[in-house]
Amino acid sequence: MKKQHDFDEPIVRRGTDARKYAPSECPNDVVPMWIADSDFASPRELVDALLERVKQGHYGYPFNDIEFCNAVSKWQTERFDWDCTPEMVEFAPGAVLPLVYGMRAFSSPGDKVVLQTPAYHPLFQLIENNGRRIARNPLVLKDGRYEIDFEDLEKKLSDPRAKVMILCNPQNPTGRVFTRDELQKIGDLCLKHHVFVLSDEIHSDIVYSGHKHIPFAAVDPGFRDICCISINPSKTFNTAGLRTAAFICPNQHNKAVILEERLNNKAFGRPIFGQLAMKVLYNECAYYADQFVEYVEENVKTFHEGLKNIKGMHLIYPEGTYLLWVDCREWGMTHEELMRFFKETVKVLPNDGSTFGYEGEGFARFNVACPRSTVLEAVKRIQKAVNA
């Protein structure tokens, strides 16, 4: 009998330590649709495995279990059809940290890091806080879909001070899933201009009908020598608080250089429960990931249908991720007014689009990884407030 997970089942997160529901951020009468974690229970297999480990009663340093790397390799190979071997895989205490290690390994303070914008806001911070400069390659919104400006991208990559490109695919917040042709062009330009690619693929499991995620290293054999891929099961399985991720580096020399940066920052100790979670999720919970994507894709459709009757709100229809990028510029509000309207009048809390760069002014990002009843309630509130 096929395993099933009930994604309609509500779980109580308010009143716990869930940041998404923190009273300072999201009062009791507000629907939270901001921070990128889900309102779904994690797979039962993981809960049972963690409970069994807790019962052991000792929580000292764990050894580095090779099954961690094997599980990541298996997931990548079976899910995305490429020859990711365990030797390519290493632990990281979060998906952003390999980007930091790689940036430090392959660039110096004062160098430029190419970033496609709008972009996940911590990426701006990690570049600037490490003394590097951001070289923006703004994505172009055309007929309701974001496209890459390759002429501008080559201009930025050809700068002698550009040493690294951070690629986010699927892209947060626009929801783009880049095609093989697009990835090929990006990689060819990076090869031509000797730029190392740090590929953030944390949303890779969440790709919708008609689209396919292709790991950057799988696009072209030549790209294996110029990239490091960062992954994390947290978006798929709601496990961000376990603080466990992995990076994949096909070139062993590049991997060693990045590991040196990890060592320099003493970020190599694996957490007991995070290491266990990675093994359980990637070995036993593919059914959950499949059903998760199917369920959330219906949530996207539900949200989209609701917005059709709301003047001035336009969904940039996503190809992947459970994060919806919504254009509210027709309302003519400042981003402070827009967020105040959503939080205080609508009583729905999205992310402020301006935090993703100036390209996000007038936009809001909504998280629909929640029971459908929550999506319907949010849409109802938006319709009522705007129509009023």
Which residues of the chain are in CATH 3.40.640.10 domains? 66-284
Mean pLDDT across the chain = 97
State in words which class domain 66-284 has: alpha beta
Give the per-residue pLDDT at 264: 87
Give the per-residue pLDDT at 41: 97
Of 282, 250, 386, which Cα lies nearest the Cα of 328?
386
The set of residues, in sequence order, having a beta carbon less than 8 Å from that of 315 and lying 6+ positions away, is: 303, 304, 307, 324, 325, 326, 327
Which residues of the chain are in CATH 3.90.1150.10 domains? 19-41+286-387
Q: How far apart are the C-alpha atoms of 81 and 26, rounded to whole Å?
A: 41
Of 110, 186, 118, 201, which Cα lies nearest the Cα of 152?
186
Percent of the chain's residues with pLDDT above 90: 96
Residue 316 and residue 325 in contact, taking contact as beta carbons nearer than 8 Å = yes
Residue 318 and residue 175 in contact, taking contact as beta carbons nearer than 8 Å = yes
SS3 for 4? coil
Cis preceding-peptide flag for 118 (omega within 30 of 0): yes
C-alpha distances (whole Å) from 55 to each of 18, 52, 58, 60 are 24, 5, 8, 14
Q: How many alpha carbons fall within 13 Å on the CB side of residue 265? A: 14
pLDDT per residue as tens digits for the range 109-156: 999 999 999 999 999 999 999 999 999 999 999 999 999 999 999 999
pLDDT(337) > 90: yes
CATH superfamily of domain region 19-41+286-387: Aspartate Aminotransferase, domain 1 (3.90.1150.10)
pLDDT per residue as tens digits for the range 351-384: 999 999 999 999 999 999 999 999 999 999 999 9
How many C-beta neighbours within 10 Å does residue 231 have?
Answer: 28
Q: How far apart are the C-alpha atoms of 316 and 174, rounded to whole Å?
A: 7
Q: How far apart are the C-alpha atoms of 304 and 315, rounded to whole Å?
A: 7
Give the per-residue pLDDT at 247: 98
How would you classify the pairing of strands 133-138 and 112-117? parallel
The set of residues, in sequence order, having a beta carbon less than 8 Å from that of 215 and lying 6+ positions away, is: 76, 80, 82, 84, 199, 201, 204, 229, 248
Give the per-residue pLDDT at 2: 82
